[in-house]
Amino acid sequence: MHQISDESAKAAQEHAKTSEKHGKAVEDLGKALEGNGEVAQEQGKLIQEYGKTVQQHASASLIHAKAAQDDAANSTEEYIKAAEEHVKATDEHTKAVKEYIKLVQNHLDKSK
């Protein structure tokens, strides 16, 4: 069976760490929005939850990426799991961005 290189496993770990940072930033944005009016409060909570979910998937991705490096016999399977978790984190991040765009668009529409 094919074995994942250390370089690829380390790159997957770096991607996971970056996703964790992005998830924390999304969560922080959600917290800031919560204290910004009733409409923003609801969307802020939702964005905050997306941020937490991004971090959960990023953490899982990091665990699998480390396992891909440490366990040569199962490196391919672990690498695939790391990639799948990274995709889930990215999907949640995208949902948060879309929600934020809706919030901004609503604000712009009201200010016309």
3-class secondary structure for 50-66? HHHHHHHHHHHHHHHHH
Sketch the domain layout of the chain as residue ranges. 6-110
pLDDT the model gives residue 39: 67
Does this model's pTM top 0.85? My answer is yes
Rounding to the nearest 10 degrees, give the CA dihedral for residues 69, 70, 73, 79.
-40
Rounded to whole angstroms, the maximal C-alpha distance in the chain is 61
| pLDDT tens column, 5-62 | 999 999 999 999 999 999 999 999 999 998 877 768 889 999 999 999 999 999 999 9
